[in-house]
Homo-oligomer: A and B are copies of this chain.
Amino acid sequence: MWLPLLVFVGLLLLYRWYRQSHILENLSDKYVFITGCDSGFGYLLAKQLDKRGMKVLAACLTEKGAENLKKEASSRLQTVMLDITDSESVSSAAKWATDIVGDAGLWGLVNNAGIGVPMSPNAWQTKADFAKVLNVNLLGSFDVTVNFLPLIIKARGRIVNLSSCCGRLAVVGGGYCPSKFGVEALSDSLRRELRDFGVKVSIIEPSGFKTEILLLEHHLKAVGHLWSNLPSQIKDYYGEQYYQKRELSY
């Protein structure tokens, strides 16, 4: 009669112990630096980790974004202005973080900042359109990673890079998919080269989440701009109808 019950309780305790062994301890000692905290995943993650008691260093592109976040977070959370396409901004943010984390180092870096527009047939884009997205998503993430690396190695920390399902499947033209394919390559070579320093590298590949990157009006505006600046020869190949239909398909 009692034996099955004892076995059941024993298994329950074992399961609880196993579950709890996966829960991270001393969260309040750990520093995490997150880029792109103005909105979307960055904003949500910063709030979430702050709530759990971590020491969040949140990088924002705009003053407004930083103010919004501060209102929603505890006094532990600190913000810094960061444009990841600007090398000086990146290195000054790294210096700022170095002063804060001290000997503890950086437990985690989340390369979240990224842009999506313009997305369109490649033929509609100039080199500058294409390069703009690469500069943020790929070159920016590279620059932040390399600048923060000494802090991460010090803590035997981890790097989390925001890739995308578009990092595996090139569903649309423009710089977005190539930039995310690039993030996959960068993350994989980083993963291998940092393993011996005890640093882990992970990627996240979100599909369709309702963050600002999928905001319809941004995409319509960007594609409308491309279409109106298109050389007439290419415009004729596609035709006004194609453009109208494309607009409707969003």
Contact = CB atoms under 8 A, between A and B. Distances in A.
A153 interface: yes
Bin the interface of chain A by size. Answer: 35 or more
Oligomeric state, in number of copies? Answer: 2
A130 interface: yes
Nearest to A134: B134
Interface in A172-188: 172-174, 177-186, 188
A181 to B, nearest CB: 4
A190 B138 CA distance: 20
A106 interface: no
A227 interface: no
Interface in A147-178: 149-150, 153, 169-174, 177-178
Contacts of A188: 169-170, 177
B122 A145 contact: yes
Interface string A119-134: 0011101110011001
Interface string A96-130: 00000000000000000000000001110111001
Interface of A: 87, 121-123, 125-127, 130-131, 134, 138-139, 142-143, 145-146, 149-150, 153, 169-174, 177-186, 188-190, 193-194, 197, 233-234, 237
Given A122-B186, A178-B181, A178-B182, 13 more contacts: A121-B193, A123-B146, A123-B194, A127-B142, A130-B139, A134-B134, A134-B138, A134-B139, A170-B189, A172-B189, A173-B193, A177-B186, A179-B182
